[in-house]
């Protein structure tokens, strides 16, 4: 089950399409979906979580809490719409593309991909691009 929750004025226009895309991604990565809760929020909301749970006093676009066991995907993904808008401008891409990248980025973490090293980040970016092409 994929749930979309809104703590800001933003709302996904295509929840069903995005849900199907996420399900297809999880399936292609040979995992099974239990439950993912997406929470779309603002910078203040996400900053509080970043400080409280991760001890990071910085703004970020996405935080994911992974409760997966083995190949059974379960977690909460918090996305700051304000950060996504700013990042889209910084990277010269549309808001929709950047939002979709962040949406799938969290799922890929749950599937075992990391992004802390340059090598891992390169693999993560390639996977993001692969799945973004499938949504287009």
CATH of the domain at 83: 3.40.390.30
Q: Say what percent of the chain tops pLDDT 90.
A: 83
109 is in an annotated binding site: yes
Q: What's the total number of domains in the chain?
A: 1
Where residue 117 falls among pLDDT bands split at 50, 70, 90? very high
Measured CA to CA, the distance from residue 95 to residue 89 in angstroms comes to: 8
pLDDT of residue 34: 96
105 is in an annotated binding site: yes
Cβ atoms 100, 79 nearer than 8 A: no
pLDDT of residue 109: 93
- Residue 23 sits in which domain range? 2-135
Q: Say what percent of the chain tops pLDDT 70.
A: 99
């Amino acid at each position: 089950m994929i749930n979309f929750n809104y703590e800001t004025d933003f709302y996904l226009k295509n929840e069903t399409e995005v849900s199907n895309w996420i399900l297809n991604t999880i399936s292609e990565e040979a995992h099974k979906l239990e439950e993912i809760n997406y929470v779309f929020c603002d910078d203040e909301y996400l900053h509080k979580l970043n400080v409280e749970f991760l001890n990071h006093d910085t703004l970020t676009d996405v935080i994911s809490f992974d409760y997966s066991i083995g190949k059974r995907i379960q977690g909460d993904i918090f996305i700051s719409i304000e950060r996504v808008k700013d990042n889209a401008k910084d990277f010269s891409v549309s808001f929709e593309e950047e939002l979709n990248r962040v949406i799938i980025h969290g799922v890929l973490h749950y599937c075992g991909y990391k992004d802390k090293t340059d090598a891992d980040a390169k693999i993560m970016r390639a996977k993001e691009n692969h799945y973004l092409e499938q949504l287009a």
